[in-house]
Amino acid sequence: MRFGLLSPEEAVGAILAHRIAVKGRVLKKGQRLSAADVALLSEAGWREVPAARLDPGDVGEDEAAARIARALQVSGLSAGQAFTGRCNLHAERAGLVLIDEPKVHALNALHEGITLATLPPYAPVSAGELVATVKIIPFALPDPLVRRAEELAARSGALELRPFRRMEARLIQTLLPATPPKVLDKTVSVLQERMARLGGALLSDNRCPHEVGALAAAMAEARRQGFDLLLVIGASATTDRRDVIPMALEAAGGRVLRFGMPVDPGNLLVLAELDGRPVLALPGSARSPKRSGVDWVMERIAAGVPVDSSSIAQMGVGGLLSEIPSRPRPRELPPAERELLRVGAVVLAAGRGRRMGPDNKLLLPFGGKPMIRHVVEAVLASRARPVVVVVGHESERVVQALAHLGVQVAVNPDFDAGLARSLQVGVAALPAEVDGVVVVLGDMPRITAPLLDRLIDAFRPEEGAGIVVPVRGGVRGHPVLFGRAFFDAIRALQGDVGARSLLAAFPEAVREVEVEDAAIHLDVDTPEQFSALLERAR
């Protein structure tokens, strides 16, 4: 492959290396240049074009990615369609992902242009979820190199999916006189959900006093009834091998295999066996749906992966869960589920707008109503839900201007601290269920619901398009849509830095949507701009 600056004559049929906006058109990175494209560039004064031309025997990036991904396929994993040099591998069923790390390293060491990225080892996945991705960095690779990568991938066994087996569990909870029944009921609900995620079921909930004899009898009854997994959770935490639950296990004929694990939360888990079947004495953290070491062990048992004292001892790396909020992973959604993505909206209406002078620009009359009301009505007419309006300066007047619109109001008392704080207040007000947020400026009265819906339609986090921005004439504008994967980055912003700074920080995640609507560049900051807005309206 030859890469560099080509003359227009050489560029016909070559692959464009960078995005170029020319004469109202956008030539995209990675597209093959036609004679018409090259003629357009020549007319615009381009004498050299950044492009790549494939040599005989070169394999294009999409074909190379697809071939290597197909070679990595094993039972339970399937390769999707390649795009922009990337081919994703998806789980065909729920299960646990096993990764042979040295073999992944070997494939990545073969050539810098070939990359394989995977989920962490022992990651649980549901059907359709993204497990690994093959990305080819250059536009093409020599065929012999691609064949070597295929051969290495095919024989490596780098990836494996262990499907979750049907597992039926019984639960025993011990009681003290002060144990609230609602705590026990909540524990049942949480563990039922855990079992359901693993494709299993919780068969029974037996409650007995927190005493060795009573608990041993309850375990004996569970053994008689039969189980694949026995879960025991005490009214008091297990603090020693001679505590109530381990002693009851031994009295019932069981054996403690491991007390404690290097995962937090989950330190006080007890692994045991009764008649050769697994028993877990759960720590108090198992009463919460929050992910903990309990999930790590239950997932391995459900997937048929051996769990013993040695394997638990190796869980310390990555086992610090208590102070690290889970970062959402991009997920591959089946096409039929894509419309279920839920996108909220945050309208920023908290600033002073000092460049406008003494007037609050958001309350200036435009078309018979305050400017901010135009913006919010347009957002409400779109598919974005919920709609959160962040107010600060003259908040009561701004809220009054939005009377009866049915929006959610979030107050930013630190609105003078900069745009970042208002954005963070708005994102914090969104429900946990939203998959993304479209950020709308309150001083853009010409935006429309169809524009917002086009951004939502283009939101495809499963294809890497986690940020969506409108473009007109090669210039990006507002509003901008951000996927949930970027909410942590938004929370880290400071001062008068808006979320648009993330476009530069995560360029590979940005999808541009070409529009003809000039409203994406039209915000109102000064009296002159407001006068021009009124003039255009007339």
The whole-number pLDDT of residue 48 equals: 84
pLDDT higher than threshold 70 for residue 332? no
Based on the domain organization, do 144 and 257 belong to the same domain? no
Among residues of the chain, what percentage have pLDDT more than 70? 95
Based on the domain organization, do 361 and 489 belong to the same domain? yes
* 146-177 pLDDT per residue, tens: 999 999 999 888 999 999 999 999 999 998 87
Q: What is the CATH number of the domain that holds 444?
A: 3.90.550.10
Based on the domain organization, do 223 and 138 belong to the same domain? no
Least reliable range by pLDDT among 37-41, 310-314, 339-343, 379-383: 339-343
| 441 close to 479: Cβ distance less than 8 angstroms | yes
Q: What is the CATH number of the domain that holds 194?
A: 3.40.980.10
Please check whether residue 329 lies inside any domain of the structure.
no
| 234 close to 281: Cβ distance less than 8 angstroms | yes
Q: What is the CATH number of the domain that holds 71?
A: 3.90.1170.30
Query: What value, to the nearest 5°, has the Cα angle with vertex 119 and ends 118 and 125?
Result: 125
Based on the domain organization, do 488 and 339 belong to the same domain? yes
* 399-427 pLDDT per residue, tens: 999 999 989 999 999 988 888 999 999 99
Based on the domain organization, do 39 and 83 belong to the same domain? no
Select from 249, 282, 313 the last residue of a domain. Answer: 313
Task: Tell me which residue range forms the domain holding 411.
Answer: 335-537
Average pLDDT over residues 283-302: 92
C-alpha distances out from residue 213 to 116, 172, 216, 259, Å:
54, 14, 5, 21
Please check whether residue 92 lies inside any domain of the structure.
yes
What is the DSSP secondary-structure string of 473-524?
A: TTEE-S-EEEEGGGHHHHHT--TT--TTHHHHH-GGGEEEEE---GGGG---
Q: What is the spatial distance between Cα 122 and Cα 158, in angstroms, rounded to a whole number?
A: 13
Select from 14, 37, 53 the last residue of a domain. Answer: 53
**E strand segments, 28-101:** 49-53, 58-60, 77-79, 86-91, 95-99
Select from 139, 163, 187 the last residue of a domain. Answer: 163
Residue listed under structure tokens 């960095």: 137
The whole-number pLDDT of residue 463 equals: 64
Please check whether residue 478 lies inside any domain of the structure.
yes
The whole-number pLDDT of residue 333 equals: 42
Please check whether residue 423 lies inside any domain of the structure.
yes
| 471 close to 458: Cβ distance less than 8 angstroms | no
The whole-number pLDDT of residue 482 equals: 95
Q: Give me the chain's average pLDDT, please.
A: 89
The whole-number pLDDT of residue 462 equals: 65
Q: What is the spatial distance between Cα 221 and Cα 251, in angstroms, rounded to a whole number?
A: 13
The whole-number pLDDT of residue 336 equals: 42
Token output for 185: 């009921």
Please check whether residue 94 lies inside any domain of the structure.
yes
**Could you tell me whether strands 387-391 and 408-411 are parallel, antiparallel, or unpaired per DSSP bridges?**
parallel
The whole-number pLDDT of residue 331 equals: 37
The whole-number pLDDT of residue 327 equals: 35
The whole-number pLDDT of residue 280 equals: 97
Please check whether residue 269 lies inside any domain of the structure.
yes
**Could you tell me whether strands 277-282 and 229-233 are parallel, antiparallel, or unpaired per DSSP bridges?**
parallel
Q: How confident is the model at residue 342 (pLDDT cuts 50, 70, 90)?
A: very high
Based on the domain organization, do 499 and 360 belong to the same domain? yes
pTM over 0.75: no
Q: How confident is the model at residue 464 (pLDDT cuts 50, 70, 90)?
A: low
Based on the domain organization, do 12 and 123 belong to the same domain? no
Based on the domain organization, do 485 and 500 belong to the same domain? yes
Q: What is the CATH number of the domain that holds 34?
A: 3.90.105.10
- Per the rule left: phi > 0, alpha: psi between -120 and 50, beta: everything else, 424 is alpha
* 496-524 pLDDT per residue, tens: 777 777 887 777 788 999 998 889 998 88
The whole-number pLDDT of residue 101 equals: 95
How big is the chain, counted in residues?
A: 538
* 191-250 pLDDT per residue, tens: 999 999 999 999 999 999 999 999 999 999 999 999 999 999 998 878 899 999 999 999
Based on the domain organization, do 355 and 469 belong to the same domain? yes
Please, is 280 exposed, middle or buried when counting C-beta atoms within 10 Å of its C-beta (0-12, 13-18, 19+)?
Answer: buried
Q: What is the spatial distance between Cα 263 and Cα 320, in angstroms, rounded to a whole number?
A: 6
Q: What is the spatial distance between Cα 526 and Cα 384, in angstroms, rounded to a whole number?
A: 29
* 358-405 pLDDT per residue, tens: 788 899 888 889 999 999 999 999 999 999 999 999 999 999 999 999
Please check whether residue 324 lies inside any domain of the structure.
no
Domain count, the chain: 4
Based on the domain organization, do 438 and 475 belong to the same domain? yes
Q: How confident is the model at residue 322 (pLDDT cuts 50, 70, 90)?
A: low
Please check whether residue 379 lies inside any domain of the structure.
yes
| 499 close to 480: Cβ distance less than 8 angstroms | yes
pLDDT higher than threshold 60 for residue 272? yes
Based on the domain organization, do 99 and 28 belong to the same domain? no
The whole-number pLDDT of residue 338 equals: 45
The whole-number pLDDT of residue 335 equals: 44
Least reliable range by pLDDT among 44-58, 69-83, 293-307: 44-58
Q: Which amino acid is at 486?
A: F
* 40-64 pLDDT per residue, tens: 888 878 888 887 777 788 998 999 9
The whole-number pLDDT of residue 178 equals: 64
CA atoms within 13 A on the CB side of 83: 8
Q: Which amino acid is at 522?
A: L
C-alpha distances out from residue 150 to 68, 84, 93, 114, Å:
5, 19, 24, 11
The whole-number pLDDT of residue 470 equals: 94
Based on the domain organization, do 305 and 432 belong to the same domain? no
